[in-house]
Amino acid sequence: MPTTPLQEILQSEGAILGEVSGWMMPTHFGDSVAEHSACRDGAVIVDLSHRGNVRFSGSDAVNFLHGMLSNRVEELSPGEGVYTTFLTRQGKFVADLNLYRRTDDLMADIPPGMASVLAEAIDMYIIMDQVEVEDLSGSLSTVGLFGPQSSACLMRAGLGPGELPEHGHIEIDGILISRELWTGEDGYLLAIPVERSEAIWKTLTASGARPAGLTAFDTLTLEAGTPLFGVDMDSSINPMQAGLAGKAIDFEKGCYIGQEVIAKIKYLGQVNRGLAGIRIEGDAIPSPGARVESNGEDVGTLTRAAFCPTLGKVMALGHIHRKAMEPGTEVTVCGDNLEAAGEITSLPFYSNKELQVHL
């Protein structure tokens, strides 16, 4: 089982490692609730080394990717980025990705375990195009810096990115820094050469970022209603079912792989099930896969649930039938000898209002 390249320094700081997406990763540093709260109040640094990175280069790379992915690529200028998906011809996920256009190439941040899968799937479509696809996952380590003080923390570390829009990015001293708002707060991803990742981690913690594990990352993204690939969405569904219509799909661009299916859903029909938020009464935390019922009828399953410290409640995400997706719908969550009342709730559960004003 692969282990984070930051293992030694993380354990010296009190990290408890556990299996996450087939990797040994830091789950917490002793108090995941405090780590969660530190993101809401200041800045946290999270090891995301289990995520992957893929590089696209060649004279045809931009046009080629524009015809492969569900969001616009051709109009990106160097320093800009976009959240998008790569789909099968049936419109289902291969993976989601964050794509960043640089001067001479494009870089993609990929969900855990999916870099080689996506690289190989896209490579199959390269025939006459001048495009090279390179999986850089072994040479780069990704860390996330999240919270209202994350930009200030980067400034103190000598890595100040300046004013970046969401998905905007800059390269400083060989580190690709992109702005990603996954936790409902300001936030950045840093793709760092592996051999320098420990030194950068030390610099950022010395600059005020508190180490946080993936348990806190899970509750932070849950509160923000940010779906995670491999957890809330996978190859069995399409991006419309994952609620990504306004985020990862451009309905005005030309053809891309799976476009016909997505267009039919948009203009001729609707999904039978979609990702919805659920507030669950009580303290019990249902397991993924727990059934959701409404009026005694099975209407869906949970993808994940957790106690959310900012809200002080147990919240969940689940794939719910459209007839029960209306906010305010009362439901019952059943599983693991548990039966709990719940209510369908609008997403996100939480967002920093000050951040939204400045976006």
CATH number of the domain residue 320 falls in: 2.40.30.110
Pair 29, 149 in one domain:
yes
Assessment of whether the complete model's pTM goes beyond 0.85: yes
Q: Is 234 domain-assigned?
A: yes
Residue type (1 letter), 303: T
Pair 59, 161 in one domain:
yes
Q: Is 210 domain-assigned?
A: yes
Q: What domain range is 323 assigned to? A: 272-345
Give the number of other CB atoms < 10 A from CB of residue 101: 24
Pair 33, 146 in one domain:
yes
Q: What six digits make up the tokens of 274? A: 């979609």
Pair 78, 117 in one domain:
yes
Domain boundary among 244, 270, 296: 270
Pair 243, 282 in one domain:
no
Q: Is 350 domain-assigned?
A: no
Pair 161, 279 in one domain:
no
pLDDT at 356: 61
Q: Is 22 domain-assigned?
A: yes
Mapped onto helix, strand or coil, the DSSP state of residue 16 is strand
Domain boundary among 219, 242, 270: 270
- Taking CA atoms, 161 is separated from 51, 110, 142, 166, 355, in Å, by 22, 22, 16, 12, 17
Q: Is 356 domain-assigned?
A: no
Pair 259, 279 in one domain:
no
Pair 279, 202 in one domain:
no
Q: How far apart are CA 86 and CA 68, in angstroms?
A: 7
- pLDDT of the chain along its 359 residues, tens only? 899 999 999 999 999 999 999 999 999 999 999 999 999 999 999 999 999 999 999 999 999 999 999 999 999 999 999 999 999 999 999 999 999 999 999 999 999 999 999 999 999 999 999 999 999 999 999 999 999 999 999 999 999 889 999 999 999 999 999 999 999 999 999 999 999 999 999 999 999 999 999 999 999 999 999 999 999 999 999 999 999 998 999 999 889 999 999 999 988 878 899 999 999 999 999 999 999 999 999 999 999 999 999 999 999 999 999 999 999 999 999 988 889 999 999 999 999 877 764 55
Q: How far apart are CA 232 and CA 253, in angstroms?
A: 26
Please give the tally of structural domains in the chain.
2
Q: Give the CATH number, domain containing residue 55.
A: 3.30.1360.120
Q: Is 355 domain-assigned?
A: no
Pair 84, 74 in one domain:
yes
Mapped onto helix, strand or coil, the DSSP state of residue 26 is strand
Domain boundary among 239, 270, 301: 270
Closest by CA position to 185, among listed 139, 220, 136, 231: 220
Determine the Cα angle at 95 with ends 67 and 116, to 5°: 95
Strand order in the sheet with 52-57: 81-87, 93-101, 105-110, 52-57, 132-135
Pair 78, 183 in one domain:
yes
Q: Is 104 domain-assigned?
A: yes
Pair 61, 144 in one domain:
yes
Pair 176, 291 in one domain:
no
Q: Is 144 domain-assigned?
A: yes
